[in-house]
Structure 1
Amino acid sequence: MTAFRTLDDADVQGRRVLVRVDLNVPKDDDGNVTDTTRIARAMPTIGELADRGARVIVLSHFGRPKGRDPKESLSPLAPICADILGRPVAFADDVVGEVAEHAAAALGDGEVLLLENTRFHAGEEKNDPDFVAALARLGELYVNDAFSAAHRAHASTEGLAHVLPAFAGRTMQAELEALAKGLETPRRPVVALIGGAKVSTKLALLENLVTKVDALVVGGGMANTFLLAQGVAVGKSLAERDLAPTALRILEAADRHGCTIILPVDAVVAWDFKAGAENRAYGLDAIPEDGMILDIGPQSVERVRAAIDDAATLVWNGPLGAFELEPFDRGTVEAARHAAQRTRGGKLVSVAGGGDTIAALNKADAVADFTYVSTAGGAFLEWLEGKPLPGVAALSPAAAPATTGA
C-alpha cells in the first residue's frame, strides 16, 4: 500500500484547497441525474474541509467531451451538491483562467466553489504541465478524493499532486484502507470470487489473483471457458474456445502458487436467453448439446457457500451467472446473501467492486452488509490486476513537491 497523508495531516484553515472528486454521474435522455451515489460519497470530504474553515474548490470531469459541450457541463450538479452538503455551492463556468481565478479568490473561509468540467480542456487528459500550473494557481493544497479516476494520469488526478502538498480525502482513504484489507494485508484465508462473461476481459486479473489468494471461485461465462479447457462439453454456452490454452495456463499457475481453483460442478441450463426461460439443472457430464449454461447449479452454490465459510477475506468482482435474467440470478444472489450474513456476523471481511457486481449485490439487498463496496469501476479492476494507480502513487510522500508548506 502506498503511504499517503490524509486530512488529519492537513492545516486547512483559511487556505484554498483544490479537491478532486468524481461527479461523473449517470443522466437520462433529458439530462436529469439518475443516481447521486458518487456525489454523496464526495460530500463528507468537502463538508469536513468547509467546517474546518478551508476555501474549497471542487474539481471533476464529466463524460468524454471534445472541447466545450453544454451537455457535459457540471453546472446542473452545483445545486445537487448544495442540497446534499447542506450549504451553498457556487459555480464557475471555467476551470482555469481569469473566470476561475476570480471565483477562487472571492471565496471566504468555509465556502465551496465547483469549477467547470476539467475535460473541457485538452490539457487535462494530456496531463499538460502548463494546464497543471494553471490549476495549481487556484489553490494552496490538493486533496484527491476520486479513487474511481485514480487509474488515469491526468492533470487533476495526478499532476497536481506533484506541485501542491497532496492529501487523500476521506473517500479515497476509506477505499485504500478497504483494498489493503482485501489483498495487501488481508486476514487469511483469502477467497476471490470472479465472474463475468469473458476470460479475455479479466485475463490480467486472474493471472494476478492466483498469486495472491488461497482460493479462486470462477463463475459466469468465463467458467465455461475453463470447463471447456478441461474437456467438458458446454453445448451452446458462451465460451471463448480460442482461450482454452490460456485457461489451462492459469490453472497450472494456480497450482504452482497453492491457489485452489473452484469451478462449477453442475449448471442451470436453458434453451432461450430470456427471463423466465424453461430451465433445468444438469451435471457437467450431461450438458445438452442445444442448451446454454446460464447459472451455476445447486451443488455449485453449496460449493461457493462452503468457500465463503472457509474465508476470512472475500474479494468479489462479477456475477456467477446471467444475473440480469430471473431465475438465472439465483446463484449470484444466494452467494451474495451468504457473504453478507458472514460479514454481519464479524466472520468475514468482504470487499466488492465493479458495475455488474454492485447491481448484483443490490439485487440481493447485500450492499449495506459488505465491508466495502467500491464504485470505482476501472480503478478497482486495475487494482485487482496488480497495476500501479497513478493517482494513488502521486500521493506518496516521495512524490511530493520539494516545498510542501503543509
Structure 2
Amino acid sequence: MATFKNIESLGALDGKRVLVRADLNVPMQDGEVSDDTRIRSVTPTIKALAAKGAKVIVMSHFGRPKGQVVPDMSLEALGQPLANITRLPVAFINDCIGDDVTETIDAMENGSVLLLENVRFYPGEEKNDPEFTKLLAANGDAYVNDAFSCCHRAHASTEGIAHLLPSAAGLALEAELVALENALGTPKHPVAAVVGGAKVSTKLDVLTHLVEKVDHLIIGGGMANTFLAAQGVDVGKSLCEHDLADTARDILGRAEKAGCTLHLPTDVVVAKEFAANAENRTVALDQVAADDMILDVGAASVADLSAALHGCKTLIWNGPMGAFEIEPFDKATVALAKAAAELTDEGSLLSVAGGGDTVAALNHAGVAEKFTHISTAGGAFLEWMEGKELPGVKVLEV
C-alpha cells in the first residue's frame, strides 16, 4: 500500500503561505450555488490550516474557459459561499499569478483565507506548463491538494506544483485515499462491485479491470441489456449496444476464468415508453416483447443480489440499476442501496460509492450517509476503478 504525505508532515505552518487546490467547480443556478458538497469537502482542510496560523490561498478551476478569461467563469461568486461555510473571512483577487497576487498574499494576516481567480484562465494550467507552474508555486511555501475529483488530470495546479513545493494531501483527499485503498487496494474478501449506467462502452476498462479484482460483479442499468442481448436474450427496443456483443461475451469469459461471479438480471421491469409512471410490468427475460423497453431490474433479481451482498465484506458501487430518475423505475436501485446501507450499518460491509449518478441515486434512496464513504469525484473515481494511476495522487506518495 502506498503511503501519502499529509498536512502534519508539513511541520509548523504559522505565517507560511499554503496553496490549497480545491475543486470549487460547483453547480450554479441564477448566480447561487445549487450544490455545495465540494465546498463542504474542502472546509475541514482550510480550517485546519488556518488554525495552524497559515495564510491559506485557495486555487480552483471553474468550467472550461480553455485558457481564456471568461467573466461568467470567474470564481468571485464563490468567495461568499466559501466564507459562509468555513465561517472564515475570505478575500478574492482577480488573478492567480503575478505581482498583485504576491502583494496581496504578503499583506494577509496569519490564519486568513484568499481565493484566487480561475487557474484555467491561463492555457498553462491544463498544459502543465513549467513556466506557469513556477509562477503559481512562487506564491506558496507549501502545497496541499484536497481535490480528488481533479487528481486524474496532470495539470499545473494538481500535479506540476507538487514537484516544486513541500506537498501533502488535504483531509478530504486523505480520507478518500484510505477509503479507496480499503475498497480495492487491500480489501477484505469477498468483494462485490455494482456497476450500472447506460452504456458498456463508457465503462469497458472498469469492467475488464474489476473482473480480475472482485468476487461478485453486479451489472445493472442499460449496460445489462447489452450483456443479456449478447447471451441471446431479446431485449426489445431497450437501450442496448448490440455492436458490443463480442466485447460483452469476452468480459463474461474473463469473469469465469478469474472466478468472478457476474450477476445479470433474471427478471426485468418493462414499459412501452420512457416516461414517469408509465404503465409497466415485471417479466421474465423470455417474456420481453418486441416493443418493450427494459427500464429496471425486477424484484426477484434484487432479492438475489441482496442475498449475494449478505455474503460480502466489501462493496464498490458506481451507477444505478435502472432508470432511477423517473418513478417507478427507481425501485431496484433504492432497494439494493437500502440493503447495502443496512449491512454497512450492522458493521458487516465496507461500502464505497462514487460517480455523479451514483451519488444522486444514493441520495434519492436516502442512504448516502450510511455508506462508509461516498466519493464526489466522477472521472477520477472511474479511472481509479479502471486501475489507472492518478497523477495528482502519485506525486503525493512518500
Q: Give the residue type in structure 2 aligned to 1:307.
A: A
Q: Displaced runs of 4+ in structure 1, greater than 2 A?
A: none
Structure 1 segment 212-361 matched on structure 2, within 5 A = 212-361=213-362
TM-score after normalising by structure 2: 0.98
Match of 2:6?
6
Match of 1:188?
189
| CA deviation after TM superposition for structure 1 residue 204, in Å | 0.4
Distance in 2 (CA, whole Å) between partners of 1:189 and 1:243 is 29
Distance in 2 (CA, whole Å) between partners of 1:363 and 1:187 is 28
Match of 2:51?
51
Q: Give the residue type in structure 2 aligned to 1:169.
A: G
Unmatched runs of 5 consecutive residues or more in structure 2 = none
SS in 2 for 1:192: strand
C-alpha distance after superposition, 1:119-161 (max 9, x if no partner): 0111100100000100111011010000000000000000011
Distance in 1 (CA, whole Å) between partners of 2:153 and 2:2 is 16
SS in 1 for 2:281: strand
Alignment root-mean-square deviation, CA = 0.8
| CA deviation after TM superposition for structure 1 residue 31, in Å | 2.2
Distance in 2 (CA, whole Å) between partners of 1:171 and 1:283 is 44
Distance in 2 (CA, whole Å) between partners of 1:381 and 1:245 is 23
| CA deviation after TM superposition for structure 1 residue 251, in Å | 0.5
| CA deviation after TM superposition for structure 1 residue 108, in Å | 2.0
Match of 2:102?
101
Figure out how many residues of one structure are paired with residues of the other and give that number: 396
Counterpart check, 1:131 vs 2:132:
yes
Match of 1:174?
175
TM-score after normalising by structure 1: 0.96
Is the Cα–Cα contact under 8 Å of residues 59 and 117 in structure 1 kept in the other structure?
A: yes
Distance in 1 (CA, whole Å) between partners of 2:311 and 2:233 is 27
SS in 2 for 1:357: helix
Is the Cα–Cα contact under 8 Å of residues 298 and 332 in structure 2 kept in the other structure?
A: yes
Structure 1 segment 32-71 matched on structure 2, within 5 A = 32-66=32-66, 67-71=68-72
Is the Cα–Cα contact under 8 Å of residues 268 and 294 in structure 1 kept in the other structure?
A: yes
Distance in 2 (CA, whole Å) between partners of 1:324 and 1:88 is 39
Distance in 2 (CA, whole Å) between partners of 1:233 and 1:93 is 58
C-alpha distance after superposition, 1:337-357 (max 9, x if no partner): 111111111111000001111
Q: Give the residue type in structure 1 aligned to 2:362.
A: L
Is the Cα–Cα contact under 8 Å of residues 2 and 392 in structure 1 kept in the other structure?
A: no
Distance in 1 (CA, whole Å) between partners of 2:359 and 2:324 is 12
Unmatched runs of 5 consecutive residues or more in structure 1 = 398-406
Match of 2:141?
140
| CA deviation after TM superposition for structure 1 residue 3, in Å | 2.1
Is the Cα–Cα contact under 8 Å of residues 33 and 81 in structure 2 kept in the other structure?
A: no
Match of 1:401?
none
Distance in 2 (CA, whole Å) between partners of 1:346 and 1:359 is 24
Structure 1 segment 150-161 matched on structure 2, within 5 A = 150-161=151-162
Q: Give the residue type in structure 2 aligned to 1:230.
A: Q
